[in-house]
């Protein structure tokens, strides 16, 4: 079960005027037995074999239900981790074969990529929520950060809190384009989420890929996923998930490519 917890947190990091204000990055809230618990307490439950299931993100209805019991401090629904516990006397035997299979699947999928560093970036035209259309091949001569995300994805939204101060502001006068594309979602949903983010000081345009045609040319699973494309249209950097320091690494690579 401890291995499952480790895998879970890896996937959490995967599967975050107004632009100038300091953005406060949200934290995940872990809830078990109708109580907010710490990561240390979660690991203790795992050691005892008491974790039945864990879900990252909840519905708006469930979030409001939890808020009525625990207060509005639980934050947004995308950052809630809901844990179901077994009774103390119903300790399951860990399924080692299942754990092994999950690990093998993660390795076999190689991060869910179809393209790798050194490949030519697949061309596409994307519809932006402001009505513009952008064709990747027309951005030659610029460094492009192609970001795949979704409105329900906690790690994706966590990453967004770091993008304005660490990437958009430093490179705003450079030959650089930030191109975030929502995977498999309708325009109305994406527009609503971007309005919510704007209220928090996160302001940028976004593209939509409702049929996943663009996504399918680049990857198979796991978001957020970032591809840094150089001035010649070649992929020079790829990241999956939102591990600590990931956005800093992306910023350094953009800076390097702009200097070439």
pLDDT tens sequence across 198-253: 999 999 999 999 999 999 999 999 999 999 999 999 999 999 999 999 999 999 99
Last residue of a domain, one of 48, 76, 110: 110
pLDDT of 26 reads: 86
pLDDT of 108 reads: 42
- Domain identity same for 52 and 125: no
User: DSSP letters of the chain?
Assistant: -HHHHHHHHHHHS----GGGSPP-----EEEETTEEE-HHHHHHHHHTT-EEEEEES--HHHHHHHHHHH-GGG--GGGEEEEEE--TT--PPP-HHHHHHHHHHHHHHGGGBSS-TTSBPPP-EEEETTS-EEEGGGGTTSEEEEEEE-TT-HHHHHHHHHHIIIIITTTTTSSEEEEEEEES--HHHHHHHHHHHHHTT-----EEETT-HHHHHHBSS-SSEEEEE-TTSBEEEEEES--TTHHHHHHHHHHHHHT-
> What are the φ and ψ backbone dihedral angles of 238, each rounded to 5 degrees?
-140, 140
**Which of these ranges, 78-87, 100-109, 184-193, has the smallest mean pLDDT?**
100-109
Asked if the bond preceding 224 is cis, omega within 30° of 0, the reply is: yes
What are the tokens at 125?
């035209």
**Residue that the structure tokens 């190689």 belong to:** 110
Looking at per-residue confidence, does 111 or 30 come out higher?
Answer: 30
pLDDT of 93 reads: 45
Kindly tell me if the per-residue pLDDT of 5 is higher than 90: no
If you average pLDDT over every residue of the chain, what do you get?
87
Number of domains in the chain: 2
Q: Which tens digit of pLDDT belongs to each residue from 32-50?
A: 989 999 989 998 888 888 9
Residue 141: which CATH number? Answer: 3.40.30.10
- Domain identity same for 93 and 125: no
- Domain, as residue range, for 15: 2-110
- Domain identity same for 137 and 61: no
- Domain identity same for 151 and 216: yes
Q: Which tens digit of pLDDT belongs to each residue from 128-184?
A: 999 999 999 999 999 999 999 999 999 999 999 999 999 999 999 999 999 999 999
- Domain identity same for 61 and 92: yes
pLDDT of 19 reads: 43
> What are the φ and ψ backbone dihedral angles of 3, each rounded to 5 degrees?
-65, -35
Kindly tell me if the per-residue pLDDT of 90 is higher than 60: no
pLDDT of 23 reads: 76
Last residue of a domain, one of 49, 80, 110: 110
- Domain identity same for 141 and 182: yes
- Domain identity same for 172 and 237: yes
How many residues in the chain?
A: 260
pTM, 2 dp: 0.78
Q: Which tens digit of pLDDT belongs to each residue from 101-139?
A: 444 444 444 689 999 999 999 999 999 999 999 999 999
Instruction: Indicate the pLDDT class of residue 100, thresholds 50, 70 and 90.
Output: very low
- Domain identity same for 143 and 196: yes
What are the tokens at 163?
């993008």
What are the tokens at 162?
């770091």
pLDDT of 8 reads: 56
pLDDT of 123 reads: 99
- Domain identity same for 117 and 169: yes
pLDDT of 96 reads: 45
- Domain identity same for 135 and 238: yes
Kindly tell me if the per-residue pLDDT of 16 is higher than 80: no
- Domain identity same for 50 and 95: yes
pLDDT of 254 reads: 98
pLDDT of 45 reads: 87
pLDDT of 55 reads: 87
- Domain identity same for 45 and 134: no
pLDDT of 3 reads: 56
Last residue of a domain, one of 51, 81, 110: 110
Q: In terms of DSSP bridges, do strands 143-149 and 133-135 run parallel, antiparallel, or are they unpaired?
A: unpaired
Cα distance between the two ends of the chain: 47
């Amino acid at each position: 079960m401890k291995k499952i917890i480790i895998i879970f947190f890896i996937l959490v990091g995967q599967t975050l005027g107004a632009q100038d204000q300091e953005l406060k990055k949200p934290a995940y809230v872990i809830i078990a037995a109708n109580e907010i618990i710490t990561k240390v307490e979660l690991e203790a439950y795992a050691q005892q074999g008491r974790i039945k299931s864990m879900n990252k993100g909840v519905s708006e209805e469930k979030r409001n239900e939890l808020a009525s019991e625990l207060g509005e401090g639980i934050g947004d629904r995308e950052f809630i981790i809901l844990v179901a516990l077994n009774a103390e006397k119903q300790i399951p035997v860990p399924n080692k074969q299942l754990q092994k299979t999950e690990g093998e699947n993660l390795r076999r999928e190689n991060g869910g990529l179809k393209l790798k560093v050194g490949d030519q970036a697949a061309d596409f035209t994307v519809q932006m929520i402001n009505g513009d259309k952008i064709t990747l091949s027309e951005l030659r001569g610029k460094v492009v950060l192609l970001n795949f995300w979704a409105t329900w994805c906690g790690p994706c939204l966590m990453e967004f809190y770091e993008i304005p101060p660490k990437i958009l502001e430093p490179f705003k006068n450079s030959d650089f384009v930030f191109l975030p594309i929502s995977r498999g979602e309708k325009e109305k949903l994406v527009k609503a989420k971007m309005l919510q983010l704007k209220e928090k000081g996160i302001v940028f345009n976004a593209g939509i890929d409702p049929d996943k045609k663009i996504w399918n040319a680049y990857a198979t699973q796991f978001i957020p996923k970032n591809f840094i494309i150089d001035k010649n249209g070649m992929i020079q950097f790829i990241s999956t998930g939102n591990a600590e320091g990931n956005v800093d690494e992306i910023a350094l690579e953009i800076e390097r490519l702009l200097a070439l």
